[in-house]
């Protein structure tokens, strides 16, 4: 099965400047000292990021 070359009307190879059709994800994981993921942020819009304040709040919660 061929992968689509457009997403929401965007020509992905033209946008990427090569032949790739990958869609990046924005993700932030908080991992404790045991290797357990204790916080996860994922957004399909790669321009959206977890706010620094939110990351700091998660880190303060580990103390």
Q: What are the tens digits of pLDDT across the range 42-63? A: 998 888 999 999 999 988 887 6
Rounded CA separation 19/12 (Å):
8
Tokens of 55: 């990351």
30 exposure class (CB count in 10 Å sphere: 0-12, 13-18, 19+): middle
- Report the phi/psi class of residue 53: left, alpha or beta, with left for phi > 0 and alpha for psi in -120 to 50: alpha
Over residues 4-20, the mean pLDDT reads 79
Residue 53 belongs to what domain range?
Answer: 24-63
The more confident residue out of 29 and 22 is 29
Q: Does residue 17 sit within a domain?
A: no
Read off the pLDDT band of 12 (50, 70, 90): confident
Residue 60 lies in a domain: yes
The domain tally of the chain equals 1
d(CA 20, CA 49) in angstroms, rounded, equals: 23
The verdict on pTM exceeding 0.95 is no
The rounded distance, in Å, linking the Cα atoms of 61 and 40 is 14
Residue 23 has pLDDT above 80, yes or no: no
């Amino acid at each position: 099965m061929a992968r689509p070359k457009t997403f929401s009307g965007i020509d992905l190879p033209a946008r990427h400047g090569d032949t790739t059709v990958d869609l990046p994800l924005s993700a932030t994981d908080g991992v404790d000292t045991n290797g357990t993921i204790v916080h996860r942020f994922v957004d399909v819009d790669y321009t959206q990021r977890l706010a620094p304040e939110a990351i700091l709040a998660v880190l303060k919660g580990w103390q």
